[in-house]
């Protein structure tokens, strides 16, 4: 893949944008872009995040790549309208974070959701015959309730993943685990609240974050170009306008977003009402 660059990348600030739900395609694109940033020896990276969260492992892989790169160059994250759950998980991988005062962030937690349609299926006379290799192979099936043992298994999974999330935020923001747990109960914050909690470093716009990135590597913000690294889209992708992305639906008077992935029961770090 050919990426268009001007010759003097050492005198430019790289920019990567993460928008929408974090899923495998996001991970692939961002990891490839981070490799380019390192190969082209950009002195700093501006990471623009506008995401409600997404899948666990994809968020973890992006975070790990950011912390590795952050040991070599300066990375400043800029939070947009929303940087919650998996969005903040990725954000704490940056060296510094700038947030708008009204950014929706936080939502530190993990969720698994299943749908129980047992009563509806009974009404229409539909039932399923299941042959399985073990008692828990059909856990979270939509045609029955969870058993007590299944609830215990899933809760242990959630607890384990939650502890990973809290530990990452604590390490990324240089906070104690106890401090993070005091507010890591799924609640959301404004950028202003996040600053008081230590989740972000400064309040400001993306332009402010860019200027800070320049200053960190001793470049003049007024003379430095910001180079956005974006994977070229095929004609089909442009026409379909990202059909593979997660669909969203808007509800409530202040437009909380609820994102649903086509993955039954997969743990998600999602921003939810």
Dump the DSSP string for 91-106. Answer: HTTSSEEEE-TT-EEE
pLDDT of residue 231: 65
The pLDDT value given to residue 212: 97
* CB environment 176-201: b (16+ within 10 A), e (fewer): eeeebbebbebebbbbebbbebebbb
Enzyme catalytic residues: 85, 137
Can you give the pLDDT at residue 81?
95
User: What distance in Å separates the CA atoms of residue 252 and residue 217, rounded to the nearest whole number?
Assistant: 44
Integer CA distances (angstroms), 171 to 7, 94, 250, 265, in order: 36, 11, 34, 29
Global pTM?
0.80
Domain positions in the chain are: 9-108+168-270
Alpha-carbon torsion, ordered 20, 23, 25, 29, to 10 deg: 70
DSSP letter, residue 33: H
* pLDDT for 239: 46
User: Cα separation of 99 and 149, whole Å?
Assistant: 42
In tens digits, the chain (273 residues) has pLDDT values of: 444 555 466 789 999 999 999 999 999 999 999 999 999 999 999 999 999 998 889 999 999 999 999 999 999 999 999 999 999 999 999 999 999 999 999 999 988 888 888 888 888 888 888 898 999 898 988 888 889 999 999 999 999 999 999 999 999 999 999 999 999 999 999 999 999 999 999 999 999 999 999 999 999 999 999 999 986 555 544 444 444 333 333 333 323 333 333 333 344 443 332
What is residue 128's predicted lDDT score, i.e. its pLDDT? 84
CB 85 within 8 A of CB 58: no
The first and second tokens of residue 102, run together, are 């009204």
CB-CB contact of 269 with 53 (8 Å): yes
Whole-number Å distance between alpha carbons of 244 and 123: 34
Tell me which H or E stretch contains 39. Answer: helix 24-39
pLDDT at 142: 86
Q: Is 108 helix (H, G, I), strand (E, B) or coil?
A: coil
CA dist 132 → 22, 42, 96, 188, 219 (Å): 32, 53, 49, 40, 62
pLDDT at 111: 85
**Both tokens of residue 1?**
């893949």
Assigned CATH for 9-108+168-270: 3.90.226.10
């Amino acid at each position: 893949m050919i990426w268009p660059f001007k010759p003097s990348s050492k005198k430019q600030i790289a920019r990567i944008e993460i928008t929408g739900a974090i899923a495998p395609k996001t991970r692939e694109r961002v990891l490839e872009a981070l490799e380019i940033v390192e190969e082209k020896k950009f002195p700093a990276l501006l990471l623009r995040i506008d995401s409600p969260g997404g899948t666990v492992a994809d968020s973890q892989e992006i975070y790990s790549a950011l912390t590795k790169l952050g040991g070599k160059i300066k990375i400043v994250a800029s939070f947009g309208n929303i940087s919650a759950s998996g969005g903040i998980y990725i954000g704490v991988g940056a060296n510094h974070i700038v947030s708008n005062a009204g950014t929706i962030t936080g939502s530190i937690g993990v969720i698994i959701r299943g749908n129980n349609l047992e009563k509806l299926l009974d009404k229409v006379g539909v039932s399923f015959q299941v042959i399985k290799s073990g008692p828990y192979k059909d856990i979270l099936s939509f045609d029955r309730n969870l058993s007590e043992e299944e609830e215990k298994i899933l809760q242990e999974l959630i607890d384990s993943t939650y502890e990973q999330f809290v530990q990452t935020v604590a390490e990324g923001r240089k906070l104690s685990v106890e401090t993070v747990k005091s507010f890591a109960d799924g609640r959301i914050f404004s950028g202003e609240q996040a600053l008081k909690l230590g989740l972000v470093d400064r309040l400001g716009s993306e332009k402010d974050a860019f200027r800070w990135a320049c200053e960190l590597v001793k470049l003049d913000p007024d003379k430095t170009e910001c180079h956005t690294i974006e994977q070229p889209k095929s004609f089909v992708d442009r026409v379909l306008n990202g059909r593979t992305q997660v669909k969203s639906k808007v509800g409530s008077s202040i437009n909380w977003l609820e994102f649903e992935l086509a993955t039954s029961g997969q743990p998600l770090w999602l921003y939810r009402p």
